[in-house]
Amino acid sequence: ELGGKSPVVVSRDVDLTQAVERIVVGKLLNSGQACITPDYIMVPEEKLEDVIKLIFAAVKSMYPTLLNNQQYTSVINDRHYQRLTRYLADAREKGVKTIAINPADEDFEASPNQKIPPTLIINPSDETLCMQEEIFGPLLPIKTYKAFEETIAYINSNPRPLAAYYFGNNKTEEEKFLTGTTSGGACVNDVMFHMLQKDLPFGGVGPS
Instruction: Just list the catalytic residues.
Output: 1, 35
**Alpha carbon distance 3, 204 (integer Å):** 8
DSSP string, 99-125: EE--TT---GGG-TT-----EEEES--
**Alpha carbon distance 92, 74 (integer Å):** 23
Best CA proximity match to 43, nearest among 20, 21, 22, 18: 20
Burial class (CB in 10 A: 0-12, 13-18, 19+), 83: middle
3-state secondary structure of 23: helix
DSSP string, 44-70: EGGGHHHHHHHHHHHHHHH-S--TT-T
